[in-house]
């Protein structure tokens, strides 16, 4: 199984930011209301994720790092209505095969435990302190995969990607409080009070009270909600356009371009708005199972969605200028 894990690891854990994403998704799936992430040297030295979620049963400790061991899909039916972020049971197996991984956890109906994996081998197991929730620490990333170690070339680029992932989690889960710390310095913290406008303010350090314009629109298959901040109010770039589907972060150039088309006809071409948009749709018409990282999606009726995004953003921007 160790060999299989090392191969699979290429897809799910190609860089520190993808590991942060997988670990935080696990905390969200465990119903955490507080998720704290500590990063050292852009994750190459250490990644630590602490949550106050349900915790893991001690009896399940040795299953954690097993490939395709997941507690999240119980029947074929579940595959059609995926509600949890994870469902492949592959992240911890992959991560632990290319790093030193420590999991401490406490689920109230079991005993606390600590388990450490080094290069795919289980090396320690001893009781941990009692606090409901889970702490995962990833050290010595890619120590046994030199090619991937080298591939992570710029620590600044990696840090940017981690920040981006954490920002998107904060927008998509306004009721969870997120805290991100780099090399001992707090980068941002959200309150988890459900107020998206406040979250945008906490993250971008701007006063959103008056400048964040609400976006709301519907078409037969899609429903859009979110905020846009006019480009001339910010110093933003393309990365400030955040579009999610059913509160999952996705990567889709067509949707980002729909946003850009909407305001480039009206405004200066070298400026970008801050956009936080979520698209609600029937999970049956979106396939998130294209790639293990789950950020690439296939959307049926993509044209309808592109038009809806473009039109609704145009409407908001026009409403302000006219
Ligand atoms: P998946 O999320 O696809 O099920 P993972 O490898 O990410 O697979 O995690 C394996 C299992 O470990 C999960 O199904 C879950 O039961 C457990 N787990 C991992 N992280 C946490 C956490 N932070 N809190 C509670 N359970 C967790
Ligand atoms: Mg997972």
Local confidence band at 321 (pLDDT 50, 70, 90 cut-offs): low
Residues with Cβ within 8 Å of residue 205, at least 6 apart in sequence: none
Q: Which ligand is nearest to the CA of 53?
A: 1
Answer yes or no: is the C-beta of 64 below 6 A from any ligand 1 atom: yes
What's the pLDDT tens digit per position in 62-91?
888 887 666 765 544 444 455 556 556 788
For residue 98, the CA-to-ligand 1 centroid distance in Å is: 17
53 ligand 1 Cβ < 6 A = yes
Domain count across the chain: 2
Q: Can you give the pLDDT at residue 288?
A: 66
Q: What is the pLDDT of residues 232-260, one digit of tens each?
A: 777 778 889 999 999 999 888 899 999 98
Q: What pLDDT does residue 244 have?
A: 94
* Statement to judge: residues 246 and 170 lie in one domain: no
Q: Is 42 in the pocket of ligand 1 (CB under 6 A)?
A: no
Domain span at residue 316 reads 211-321
Q: Examine the pLDDT at 2 and tell me if it is beyond 70.
A: no
Does residue 86 line the site of ligand 1, with CB under 6 A? yes
Quick one: tokens of 267? 């405004």
Q: Are residues 125 and 228 in the same domain?
A: no
Which residue among 189, 224, 253 closes a domain?
A: 189
Q: Tell me the CATH number at 261.
A: 3.30.230.10
> Which pairing describes strands 100-106 and 241-245: parallel, antiparallel, or unpaired?
unpaired
Q: Is residue 194 part of a domain?
A: no
Residues of the chain with pLDDT > 90, as a percent, come to: 53
pLDDT tens for residues 179-237?
A: 999 999 999 999 999 999 999 999 998 888 788 999 999 999 999 999 999 877 777 78
In angstroms, the CA 179 to CA 177 distance is 7
Structural domain includes residue 204: no
Q: Are residues 21 and 157 in the same domain?
A: yes
Mutate to test the pocket of ligand 1, among 5, 9, 26 (most ligand atoms within 8 A of CB): 26
Q: Ligand 2 centre and the CA of 45: distance in Å?
A: 21
Same domain, 55 and 161: yes
- Residue 248 counted as domain residue: yes
Dist. CA 68 → ligand 2 center (Å): 10
β strands within the chain, DSSP E? 34-40, 46-51, 100-106, 113-118, 121-126, 133-139, 177-182, 185-189, 212-218, 223-229, 241-245, 248-249, 274-280, 286-287, 298-299
> In terms of domains, do 45 and 157 share one?
yes
Q: Per the domain annotation, does 197 fall within a domain? A: no
Is residue 203 situated within a structural domain? no
- Residue 61 to residue 124: CA distance in whole angstroms: 12
């Amino acid at each position: 199984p160790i060999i299989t894990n090392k191969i699979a690891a290429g897809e799910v854990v190609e860089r520190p930011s993808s590991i942060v994403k997988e670990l935080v998704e696990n905390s969200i799936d465990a119903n955490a209301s507080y998720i704290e992430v500590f990063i050292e040297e852009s994750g190459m030295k250490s990644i630590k994720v602490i949550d106050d979620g349900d915790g893991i049963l001690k009896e399940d400790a040795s299953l954690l790092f097993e490939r395709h061991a997941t507690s999240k899909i119980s029947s074929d039916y579940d595959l059609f209505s995926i509600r949890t972020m994870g469902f492949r049971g592959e992240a911890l197996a992959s991560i632990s095969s290319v790093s030193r991984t420590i999991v401490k956890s406490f689920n109230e109906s079991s005993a606390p435990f600590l388990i450490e994996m080094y290069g795919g081998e289980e090396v320690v197991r001893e009781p941990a302190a009692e606090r409901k929730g889970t702490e995962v620490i990833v050290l010595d990333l890619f120590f046994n995969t030199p090619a991937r170690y080298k591939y992570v070339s710029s620590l600044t680029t990696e840090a940017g990607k981690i920040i981006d992932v954490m920002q998107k989690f904060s927008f998509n889960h306004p009721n969870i409080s997120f805290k991100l710390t780099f090399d001992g310095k707090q980068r941002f913290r959200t309150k988890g009070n459900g107020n998206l406008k406040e979250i945008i303010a906490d993250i971008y350090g701007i006063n959103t009270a008056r400048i964040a314009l609400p976006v709301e629109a519907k078409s037969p298959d899609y429903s859009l909600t979110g905020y846009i901040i006019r480009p001339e109010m910010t110093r933003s770039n393309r990365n400030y356009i955040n579009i999610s589907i059913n509160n999952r972060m996705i990567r889709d150039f067509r949707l980002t371009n729909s946003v850009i088309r909407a305001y480039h006809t009206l405004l200066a071409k070298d400026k970008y708005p801050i956009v936080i948009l979520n698209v609600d749709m029937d999970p049956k018409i979106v396939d998130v199972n294209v790639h293990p990282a789950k950020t690439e999606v296939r959307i049926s009726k993509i044209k309808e969605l592109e038009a809806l995004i473009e039109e609704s953003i145009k409407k908001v921007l026009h409403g302000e200028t006219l």
